[in-house]
Structure formats: structure tokens, C-alpha cells
């Protein structure tokens, strides 16, 4: 698994570096990470852009960095509900760029994958440019201002006007930074566009369009050689053409690949295109573009066709933050999160509501996850007080162009989305934005979250509104030639380890700040009702801020009903639930810091809904039951035991005695009412009456120790690898205590640093960058990262009254 990540990083580096092994000539292009050794200071600082400015007393750190997540939750922070009550503000970053052997024919570029937001970049005191949009990738040409030796790069980041989004945004240089060197004739950043067509088992046509920049300021004849490599790095085909360039030029080439290995979520086959530029036989650039071969077709009778076959989107919407690291998500952690979703059977993600990091798309390519790539939330009318709506008019074309050029070669990107619940838009706006996008890439369908008010998208996106009874059917009747995609369905709310046996509807039982319980009356008849599991609430007295982990806490439709709709309607091609992971912000009010929409909590621990989706989406036999089986004081009380499985039937056993076998039906869950008795609860799932897979819960006794489990035994001393440590409160037989809420303290020794702590409790406002955390529902998470030294990393966890635990991981 780790191999995939390493490969991706190499591909990303190689996306530009690439060495020409077959020839003695070195590729003049170099691309290096400049993530390490920055200086940082919070606040606006006069003259901090200047070369001679003294930053000796500034903090030393590496990027990706997010200063908001380092702060404290405070009700008075201007980010408010939207931004999870975390601090925002202005920050400055400075870094030395060492240039050796500066040649007159060298070009240098600094590339930012993302800076939130309103960045101003300077080199040696010279202003290079400004980018308001905090999610866009951008670069600057440093060449005119560089000198041999030390150069000063300075970045001012302004997220002081807050809230600048409807969710937690993070603040700072929260993605990677790169330095690229080329010669004066080169392929510019994102300068290639690859499209594939006429795809069959025996062949596929590959069309390559590329740009060439000529800063040599004289006419040139350039040979362009394009070579396609398969996933094992064997060159399988090539082509050559010659272009005459004056200022800037372009080229177009075609190659036919025989017996292509197509890209799909089940077989994410990738290829690399290496484009070499030569002048008078001398290699002047090699540019590598990873790509995949696959076809997309919208067919009103069959749905969304990938490589000619209908495929339903088993999708999730996610924001870009990742619990205790905020918006600065290490690649290693991003990989684990995507892998967790893939293991659930998820085949698609929506980048709500903005461009994600380049690494995200590269990982989706290799893991096999389709992406609905979303450019914006709103357009000309702002949705949060100081969001991108303020800059939209001036910037949207530039940002949309850069976004599409950056992501257009990823096979995982199967659809663009131009916006989400855009306020006050006119059909003409949609037409203009979609048409402009199509001038840059016309090879994919375009949609829009809740974009059904205008006809200029290829596939109609429905958000929560489409969850109501009859809405999709009505739209289909009126627009029989349009496919529908659930750009944001289903909305359910759940807190890990919390159970309620009576059904809750958000508007009625726990209204969001913008809802009135009385509104429920108006749309009650359109809600897909879920029967209560019991007549009287079995688990009363739980705070309203927590939601039930049975599939019975919904806004308008439950997961099971919605998935039944997806399967029943050919024109409904699947959906993107709201959301995969819990995200910071957009809570229902202080002191909650998230709204609990995720099926995985802020610590990355799956809630029961994760397994519900797995039972619907994955073919690998699985079974999961809920709730846990530790309910002291409930002896004799009937507790609904719910089972999710993708097998045909399941049999439940309490302390060895069968409570009967039941088949899975369109209810998509099996329920037993079980009078509580402590001991062992076991479920056995069967196919053809034969046991296939089982799960056992034991009742926990009193917690006696802290248990540590790391996701890896070794890391590399590379300052990037992350160790995720699950911390659990367990009894003497190592059974997790489901209500365990002990305060745990950590000590780390050896070559690792703290990245953050988290427990998934939406009401726990403890800071993340400290060496302690309270457990929530038996567990919390400790994240640490390797340094640049090797050696043994030792983590100790202790808690008053409990036996401590020690764990070691080797950095080598
Ligand atoms: C949707 C919106 C999402 C999120 C969600 C919460 O209307 O598109 O961004 O706000 O509501 O329910």
C-alpha cells in the first residue's frame, strides 16, 4: 500500500523532473519540494516582504501549515459557527531559496498547491502577484529577480476578514510548495492536454495537445517527441513532430495504443506520457503527464457509462480538512483516509466545494476513485460574509481556467461541477460559465450542485431538495432527456457510539440554526419516514447535540431508502452523500464544532454508518452489528440489535444461544429485539445457508488500562510519514469500554513530533496540538510524524487509575 503513495509522490515529482535514461542528455527540468525550513509570524508585519528584513525571532516550521487549527476554540472568534470558532487573521511566511550556478538560460518558478487565502508573494522584495482564491494552485516566474546565492521568498496570507467560507477553511500555506527549473524553451505548468477516443479492446486513440513557451526571444525549430510508458515503465509507443515557434507555440499529436488497459475504479490502470523538446538535437525539456484511458458517455436509457458499461456513483462529498491537522493534511494521512473510503466500497468523491490538492487527484487515479471536481461554491453573490463571492467577478475565468488545466489529465476526474447551491444565479450565468469551461476541456460532462434551475449542464445535480418524495420523478417526467445525479444526497446525522431507538428528523427534533420546527409540518408528507425501532425510547437523556448511529436520524431520507432509489431508477446515476468524514465548522451552534454529518468522525474512526454503506456498496462479504453490548443497568430491557450485511442472511447468538436466522430484504438491515443480558453477542452472516463472516461483541467490564495501536511499525525519517495511533480504554480482557471517557496523557520520545490529538466528540473543545486528550466513547487518536532522524520512536500513554501503555515504531 505504502508503495502506491511513494509512487504517486515520485510521479508528482516526476511530473516535471523525469530523467532521460535512454540518452546521455540530462533533462534540464528539475522540480524540488521547498516545504521545509520556513519562518512564520502571525499578524501583519511591516516590511516583512523586504529582502533585508530580520526574521531571526520568527517561528521555524515546515509547510503544509495551518495556523487556525493550532489555535483555541473560542465563541468570539469571527469565523463563528462556519469556521468552527477557530482563529483566522493574517500571517507571514519567509524562506531562503538558494540558487547555485545561475545561468542566463535558466528559468525558475515557484509553485504553490494552495494558500488560504488572499496570498501576496514576493521574491527579494519584488511583488510577484496576488491570488484571492484560497483553493487554487498557482505559480510565479522568479527568474527576473533572482541572484546567485540566497534569495528571500516572502508570502503574506490574509484570512482576516472572517468568515471567509461556510465551513472551516484553515489559514496559511496549507499545501505543498515547489521550485521548478527549466530552460528558456519549455512546456509551461499544466501545458499538456491528453484525450482518449475510439476505445476498444484492441486499440485506443490518444490525442496530445501541448503548449510551448519560448522565452529565448528568437525563432526556433523544436522537435517534439512524445513517448507513452505503461505502468511498468516500458515505452510502448511514440511519435515525433516538428514545430516552428516564434514567441509561444503549440503542438498536436496522435498515438494509437494497442490493447489498452482501461482505467476504472476496479482496475485503475495508468500510463505516463513523456514529452521531450529538442532544439538542434539537444534535449531542452522533458515533461511527464500521467494519464489513463477510459471513455465516458451519458445515455438516458442506461445511465452514466464508463468504458461502455453503466456505473452508479457510490459517492461521498467531503471538505478538505482532516480533523486535528485542519487543512494541512500530510499525503500519508490523505492516503489512509482515501483507502478507508475505498475499503467501504466508495467509488466516487466530490470535492466540496472547491479544488483539492494535486495529491488528492493523483491518489484517486491510482486507488480507483472517480471524482466530481467542483470549482466553486457560489458565484457572483457571496454566501458567507467575506467569501470568494467578493472576488468572483474579477477572478472566476482565471481560476476556472487554471483549475481545469491542472486537473484535466486525471482519469479519475470524470465530471466537472461549476458550483453549489449558487445564490441568485441566472440561467445565462450558468451558460457562460459552462461554455467557458468547455473551451478548456470538453471531454467531460459538467454538472452543478443543485443546478436544476437552469438547463446548461449535461447532467442535472440535486442536493437535499431531491431527497424529498417525488422530486426526482417529477423532474424526470418534465425533462426525460436529462440524467440526474445526487450531487449531495443523503444527509443523515450520527455521533459515534450514540444510539436512540426512536427516529429523529432534523427540522423537527434538532433544528439547524436556519430551520424552524414548524417548517416540518410543510414538508412532512415528502419525507421518507423511518419506523421507530421501539415504542418507548430505550436510551433516553442523551444531549440533543448528539445524533443516533442507527439509520434513524435524518433530514429528509435515510441511507437505505435513498440507495433503493438509486438502484431502482436508471436515470438516477448515483449520489454523493453529505458527508464522508466529519468536517470542522458549519455546526448547529456553540459549543459544537461540527454538525456530525460524517460517517467517519473527526478522529478518523468509522461510525456504524460506515458499515451500512459497506453492506450496500461492497461485494467483499461483511457483517456489522449495532449497538455495542455493554449496557449495565439494562438487564432484561429489549434492545434493538441491527445487523448490516451484504450476505443473504444472518443468525444472531447471545451467550451461545441462537436468537434465529433472518434474511436481508429491501429493508437493508435485519433487526432483533434482544432482552439485554451481558456476555457475548455474536452474528454469523451466511450465503447459501453457509457461514461466511461473523462479528462478536463482548460486554466490557470496568476499564483497567490504556491500549495503543499504531497503523504502522516502521516509518521513514523523511519528516512526512505519519503514524496514526488509536488509543482505547479497555478492560482486563482488552474489550473496549464503550463509554470510556478517561483523560489520557502522552509522552513521545525519539525522532517524532506531535501532529495532533482528537476524539471525534463534537462538543470537546480541547486544543489539538497538546500531549493529552480525553477519550470519547472509549477512544481517541494521537497523530505523530517522523522527523529527519532515524531511530526508535516511543509513545507512552497514561491515565489516572489505569495501567499505562508503551508502543514503539522504528524510523529507518
Ligand atoms: C447543503 C450545502 C452543503 C452543506 C449542507 C449542510 O445545502 O450545499 O455545503 O451546507 O447543506 O446541510
What is the pLDDT at residue 12? 42
Q: How far is the CA of 607 from the centre of ligand 1 (A)?
A: 20
Which of 578, 594, 596, when mutated, tests ligand 1's pocket best, judged by the most ligand atoms within 8 Å of its CB?
Answer: 578
475-516 per-position pLDDT tens digit: 999 999 999 999 999 999 999 999 999 999 999 999 988 899
Q: Is the pLDDT of residue 6 over 80?
A: no
Q: How far is the CA of 319 from the centre of ligand 1 (A)?
A: 11
Which of 464, 492, 556, when mutated, tests ligand 1's pocket best, judged by the most ligand atoms within 8 Å of its CB?
Answer: 464
What is the pLDDT at residue 13? 38
CATH for 248: 2.60.40.10
Q: Is the pLDDT of residue 5 over 60?
A: no
693-746 per-position pLDDT tens digit: 999 999 999 999 999 999 999 999 999 999 999 999 999 999 999 999 999 999
Average pLDDT in the 573-585 region? 98
Q: How far is the CA of 594 from the centre of ligand 1 (A)?
A: 13
SS3 228: strand
Q: Is the pLDDT of residue 132 over 70?
A: yes
Residue whose CA lies nearest to ligand 1 atom number 5: 578
CATH for 567: 3.20.20.80
Strand partners, 600: 581, 606
SS3 188: coil
Q: How far is the CA of 333 from the centre of ligand 1 (A)?
A: 25
Q: How far is the CA of 502 from the centre of ligand 1 (A)?
A: 25
Element (H, E) at 216: none
**Using CA atoms in the order 588, 170, 360, 434, what is the torsion angle rounded to 10 degrees?**
80
Residues in the chain: 812
Cell of 805: 501503555
Atom of ligand 1 nearest to the CA of 449: 8
Q: Please check whether residue 794 lies inside any domain of the structure.
A: yes
Are residues 782 and 650 both part of a single domain?
no
Q: Please check whether residue 28 lies inside any domain of the structure.
A: no
Q: Please check whether residue 301 lies inside any domain of the structure.
A: no
Q: How far is the CA of 527 from the centre of ligand 1 (A)?
A: 18
Mode of pairing for the β-strands spanning 649-654 and 657-663: antiparallel
What is the pLDDT at residue 21? 35
Q: Please check whether residue 15 lies inside any domain of the structure.
A: no
Q: How far is the CA of 515 from the centre of ligand 1 (A)?
A: 13
Structure confidence at residue 218 as a pLDDT band (50, 70, 90): confident
Atom of ligand 1 nearest to the CA of 352: 9
Q: What angle do CA 135, 137, 142 make, to 5 degrees?
A: 140
Mode of pairing for the β-strands spanning 271-279 and 282-291: antiparallel
Residue whose CA lies nearest to ligand 1 atom number 12: 491
Cα atoms in the Cβ-side hemisphere of radius 13 Å centred on 655:
7
What is the pLDDT at residue 348? 98
What is the pLDDT at residue 11? 39
Cell of 501: 431507538
What is the pLDDT at residue 291? 98
Q: Is the pLDDT of residue 25 over 90?
A: no
What separation in angstroms does the CA of 450 have from each of 430, 454, 473, 570, 699?
Answer: 12, 10, 16, 19, 46
How many domains would you assign to the chain? 5
Residue whose CA lies nearest to ligand 1 atom number 11: 464
Closest CA to 769 of 800, 797, 746: 746
Element (H, E) at 233: none
Are residues 380 and 471 both part of a single domain?
yes
Closest CA to 659 of 674, 679, 642: 674
Q: Which domain holds residue 235?
A: 192-296
The 3-state DSSP composition of the chain as helix, strand, coil percent (nearest 5) reads 15, 40, 45
Average pLDDT in the 132-152 region? 97
Atom of ligand 1 nearest to the CA of 420: 8
Q: Please check whether residue 17 lies inside any domain of the structure.
A: no
What is the pLDDT at residue 723? 98
Are residues 348 and 443 both part of a single domain?
yes
Cell of 626: 449495532
- Domain boundary (150, 183, 216) is at 183
Are residues 356 and 454 both part of a single domain?
yes
Residue whose CA lies nearest to ligand 1 atom number 2: 421
Are residues 418 and 493 both part of a single domain?
yes
Are residues 261 and 125 both part of a single domain?
no
How far, in Å, CA of 448 to CA of 649, rounded?
40
How far, in Å, CA of 160 to CA of 352, rounded?
23
Q: Is the pLDDT of residue 540 over 90?
A: yes
Average pLDDT in the 626-646 region? 98
Q: Please check whether residue 4 lies inside any domain of the structure.
A: no
Which of 374, 378, 421, when mutated, tests ligand 1's pocket best, judged by the most ligand atoms within 8 Å of its CB?
Answer: 421
What is the pLDDT at residue 4? 44
8 A C-beta contact, residue 782 and residue 758: no
Q: Where are the beta strands (DSSP E) in 526-612?
A: 553-554, 572-578
What is the pLDDT at residue 104? 87
Are residues 443 and 486 both part of a single domain?
yes
How far, in Å, CA of 353 to CA of 373, rounded?
9
- Domain boundary (592, 617, 642) is at 617
SS3 62: coil
- Domain boundary (617, 639, 665) is at 617
8 A C-beta contact, residue 131 and residue 71: no
Are residues 501 and 582 both part of a single domain?
yes
Atom of ligand 1 nearest to the CA of 421: 8
Q: Is the pLDDT of residue 7 over 50?
A: no
Atom of ligand 1 nearest to the CA of 488: 8
Which of 166, 488, 555, 592, when mutated, tests ligand 1's pocket best, judged by the most ligand atoms within 8 Å of its CB?
Answer: 488
Q: What angle do CA 605, 313, 324 make, to 5 degrees?
A: 25
Closest CA to 63 of 82, 81, 80, 40: 40
Which string of DSSP letters, residue by residue, matches 628-680?
-S--TT-TT-EEEEEEEESSSEEEEEETTEEEEEEE--TT-SEEEEEE--SSE
Average pLDDT in the 103-125 region? 97
SS3 526: helix
What is the pLDDT at residue 597? 97
8 A C-beta contact, residue 168 and residue 584: yes
Cell of 343: 475499503
Q: How far is the CA of 428 from the centre of ligand 1 (A)?
A: 24
Are residues 692 and 790 both part of a single domain?
no
What is the pLDDT at residue 528? 97
744-770 per-position pLDDT tens digit: 999 999 999 999 999 999 999 999 999
Q: Is the pLDDT of residue 520 over 80?
A: yes
290-309 per-position pLDDT tens digit: 999 999 999 999 999 999 99
What is the pLDDT at residue 247? 84
Residues 6+ apart with CB under 8 A from 763: 543, 545, 546, 591, 592, 593
Cell of 290: 500521467
How far, in Å, CA of 323 to CA of 581, rounded?
9
8 A C-beta contact, residue 778 and residue 719: no
Taking every pair of C-alpha atoms in the chain, what is the biggest distance, in angstroms?
A: 89
Q: Please check whether residue 1 lies inside any domain of the structure.
A: no
How far, in Å, CA of 501 to CA of 434, rounded?
46
Atom of ligand 1 nearest to the CA of 512: 12
SS3 768: coil
Residues 6+ apart with CB under 8 A from 134: 114, 115, 116, 117, 118, 159, 164, 169, 354, 388
Q: How far is the CA of 208 from the centre of ligand 1 (A)?
A: 38
404-453 per-position pLDDT tens digit: 999 999 999 999 999 999 999 999 999 999 999 999 999 999 999 998 88
Poorest-pLDDT segment among 358-372, 515-529, 688-702: 515-529
Atom of ligand 1 nearest to the CA of 578: 5
Q: How far is the CA of 314 from the centre of ligand 1 (A)?
A: 19
How far, in Å, CA of 158 to CA of 105, rounded?
35
Are residues 327 and 451 both part of a single domain?
yes
How far, in Å, CA of 110 to CA of 31, rounded?
10
Structure confidence at residue 3 as a pLDDT band (50, 70, 90): very low
Average pLDDT, the chain: 95
Element (H, E) at 138: strand 138-141
Which string of DSSP letters, residue by residue, matches 713-766?
SEE-SSS--EEEEEEEEE-TT--B-TT---EEEEEEESSEEEEEEE---TT---
Q: Is the pLDDT of residue 594 over 50?
A: yes
Q: Is the pLDDT of residue 215 over 90?
A: yes
Q: How far is the CA of 586 from the centre of ligand 1 (A)?
A: 9
Q: Please check whether residue 725 lies inside any domain of the structure.
A: yes
Structure confidence at residue 454 as a pLDDT band (50, 70, 90): confident
% the chain with pLDDT above 70: 97
Closest CA to 576 of 312, 277, 354, 233: 312
Closest CA to 444 of 456, 454, 458, 430: 458
Dihedral angle sign, alpha carbons of residues 135, 16, 370, 441: positive
Which of 586, 588, 589, 597, when mutated, tests ligand 1's pocket best, judged by the most ligand atoms within 8 Å of its CB?
Answer: 586
8 A C-beta contact, residue 298 and residue 290: no
Residues within 6 Å of ligand 1 by CB? 166, 420-421, 449, 463-464, 488, 491, 578, 586
> Which positions are catalytic?
421, 488
Closest CA to 359 of 535, 512, 236, 176: 176
Are residues 209 and 285 both part of a single domain?
yes
Are residues 365 and 478 both part of a single domain?
yes
Atom of ligand 1 nearest to the CA of 353: 9
Q: Is the pLDDT of residue 355 over 90?
A: yes
Structure confidence at residue 22 as a pLDDT band (50, 70, 90): very low
Average pLDDT in the 114-127 region? 98
What separation in angstroms does the CA of 240 have from each of 24, 249, 251, 417?
Answer: 19, 16, 10, 36
Q: Where are the beta strands (DSSP E) in 665-731?
A: 670-675, 680-687, 690-698, 705-710, 714-715, 722-730
How far, in Å, CA of 353 to CA of 378, rounded?
9
- Measured in whole angstroms, the distance separating CA 788 from the mean position of its chain's CA atoms is 27
Amino acid at each position: 500500500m505504502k508503495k502506491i503513495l511513494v509512487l504517486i509522490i515520485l510521479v508528482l515529482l516526476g511530473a516535471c523532473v523525469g530523467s532521460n535514461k535512454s540518452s546521455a542528455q540530462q533533462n534540464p527540468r528539475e522540480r524540488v519540494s521547498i516545504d521545509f525550513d520556513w519562518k512564520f509570524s502571525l499578524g501583519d508585519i511591516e516590511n516583512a516582504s523586504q529582502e533585508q528584513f530580520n526574521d531571526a525571532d520568527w517561528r521555524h516550521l515546515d509547510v503544509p501549515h495551518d495556523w487556525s487549527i493550532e489555535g483555541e476554540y473560542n465563541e468570539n472568534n469571527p469565523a463563528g459557527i462556519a469556521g468552527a470558532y477557530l482563529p483566522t487573521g493574517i500571517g507571514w511566511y519567509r524562506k531562503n531559496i538558494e540558487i547555485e550556478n545561475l545561468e542566463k538560460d535558466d528559468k525558475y518558478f515557484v509553485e504553490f498547491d494552495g494558500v488560504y487565502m488572499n496570498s501576496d508573494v514576493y521574491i527579494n522584495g519584488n511583488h510577484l502577484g496576488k491570488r484571492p482564491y484560497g483553493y487554487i494552485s498557482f505559480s510565479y516566474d522568479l527568474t527576473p529577480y533572482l541572484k546567485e546565492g540566497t534569495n528571500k521568498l516572502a508570502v503574506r496570507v490574509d484570512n482576516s476578514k472572517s468568515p471567509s467560507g461556510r465551513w472551516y477553511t484553515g489559514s496559511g500555506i496549507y499545501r505543498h510548495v515547489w521550485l521548478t527549473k527549466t530552460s528558456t524553451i519549455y512546456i509551461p505548468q499544466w501545458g499538456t492536454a491528453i484525450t482518449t477516443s475510439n476505445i476498444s479492446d484492441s486499440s485506443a486513440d490518444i490525442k496530445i495537445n501541448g503548449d510551448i513557451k519560448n522565452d529565448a526571444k528568437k525563432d526556433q525549430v523544436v522537435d517534439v517527441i512524445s513517448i507513452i510508458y505503461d505502468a511498468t515503465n516500458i515505452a510502448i509507443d511514440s511519435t515525433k513532430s516538428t514545430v516552428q515557434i516564434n514567441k509561444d507555440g503549440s503542438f498536436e499529436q496522435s498515438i494509437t495504443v494497442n490493447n489498452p488497459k482501461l482505467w476504472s475504479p476496479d482496475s485503475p490502470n495508468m500510463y505516463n506520457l513523456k514529452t521531450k523538446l529538442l532544439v538542434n538535437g539537444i534535449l531542452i525539456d522533458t515533461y511527464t503527464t500521467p494519464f489513463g484511458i477510459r471513455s465516458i458517455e451519458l445515455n438516458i436509457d442506461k445511465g452514466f457509462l464508463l468504458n461502455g458499461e453503466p456505473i452508479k456513483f457510490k459517492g461521498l462529498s467531503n471538505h478538505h480538512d482532516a480533523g486535528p491537522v485542519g487543512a494541512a493534511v500530510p499525503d500519508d494521512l490523505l492516503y489512509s483516509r482515501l483507502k478507508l473510503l475505498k475499503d467501504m466500497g466508495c467509488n466516487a468523491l466530490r470535492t466540496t466545494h472547491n479544488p483539492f490538492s494535486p495529491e488528492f487527484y493523483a491518489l484517486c487515479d491510482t486507488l480507483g476513485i472517480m471524482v466530481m471536481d467542483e470549482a466553486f461554491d457560489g458565484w457572483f453573490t457571496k454566501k458567507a460574509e467575506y467569501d470568494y463571492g467578493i472576488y468572483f467577478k474579477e477572478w472566476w475565468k482565471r481560476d476556472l481556467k487554471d483549475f481545469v488545466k491542472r486537473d484535466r489529465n486525471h482519469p479519475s476526474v470524470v465530471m466537472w461541477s461549476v458550483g453549489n447551491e449558487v445564490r441568485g444565479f441566472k440561467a445565462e450565468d450558468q451558460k457562460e460559465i459552462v461554455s467557458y469551461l468547455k473551451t478548456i476541456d470538453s471531454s467531460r460532462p459538467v454538472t452543478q450542485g443543485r443546478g436544476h434551475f437552469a438547463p446548461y449542464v449535461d447532467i442535472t445535480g440535486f442536493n437535499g431538495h431531491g431527497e424529498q418524495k417525488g422530486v426526482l420523478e417529477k423532474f424526470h417526467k418534465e425533462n426525460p432527456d436529462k440524467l440526474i445525479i445526487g450531487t449531495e444526497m443523503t444527509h443523515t446525522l450520527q455521533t459515534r457510539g450514540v444510539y436512540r431507538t426512536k427516529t429523529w428528523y432534523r427540522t423537527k427534533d434538532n433544528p439547524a440554526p436556519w430551520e424552524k420546527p414548524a417548517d416540518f409540518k410543510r414538508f412532512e408528507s415528502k419525507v421518507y419516514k423511518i419506523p421507530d425501532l421501539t415504542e418507548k425510547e430505550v436510551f433516553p437523556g442523551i444531549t440533543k447535540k448528539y445524533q443516533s448511529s442507527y439509520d434513524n436520524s435524518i433530514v429528509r431520507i435515510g441511507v437505505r431508502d435513498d440507495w433503493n432509489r438509486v438502484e431502482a431508477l436508471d436515470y438516477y446515476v448515483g449520489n454523493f452523500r453529505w458527508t464522508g468524514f466529519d468536517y470542522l465548522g458549519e455546526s448547529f451552534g456553540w459549543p459544537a464544532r461540527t454538525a456530525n454529518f460524517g460517517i467517519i468522525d473527526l478522529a478518523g474512526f468509522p461510525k456504524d454508518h460506515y458499515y451500512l454503506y459497506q453492506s450496500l456498496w461492497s461485494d467483499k462479504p461483511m457483517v456489522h452489528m449495532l449497538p455495542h453490548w455493554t449496557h449495565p443497568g439494562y438487564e432484561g430491557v429489549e434492545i434493538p440489535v441491527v445487523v448490516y450485511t451484504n450476505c443473504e442472511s444472518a443468525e444472531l447468538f447471545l451467550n451461545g444461544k441462537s436468537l434465529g436466522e433472518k434474511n436481508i430484504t429491501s429493508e437493508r438491515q435485519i433487526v432483533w429485539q434482544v432482552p439485554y443480558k451481558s456476555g457475548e453477542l455474536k452474528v454469523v452472516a451466511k450465503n447459501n445457508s453457509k457461514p461466511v463472516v461473523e462479528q462478536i461483541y463482548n460486554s466490557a467490564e470496568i476499564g483497567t488500562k490504556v491500549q495503543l495501536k499504531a497503523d504502522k511499525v516502521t516509518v521513514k525519517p523523511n519528516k512526512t510519514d505519519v503514524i496514526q495511533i488509536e488509543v482505547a480504554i479497555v478492560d482486563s480482557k482488552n474489550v473496549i469500554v464503550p463509554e470510556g471517557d478517561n483523560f489520557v496523557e502522552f509522552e513521545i520520545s525519539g525522532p517524532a513530533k506531535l501532529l495532533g490529538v482528537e476524539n471525534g466528540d463534537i462538543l470537546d473543545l480541547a486544543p489539538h496540538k497538546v500531549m493529552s486528550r480525553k477519550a470519547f466513547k472509549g477512544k481517541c487518536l494521537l497523530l505523530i510524524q517522523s522527523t529527519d532522524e532515524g531511530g526508535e520512536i516511543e509513545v507512552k500513554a497514561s491515565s489516572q487509575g489505569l495501567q499505562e501503555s508503551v508502543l514503539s515504531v522504528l524510523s529507518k
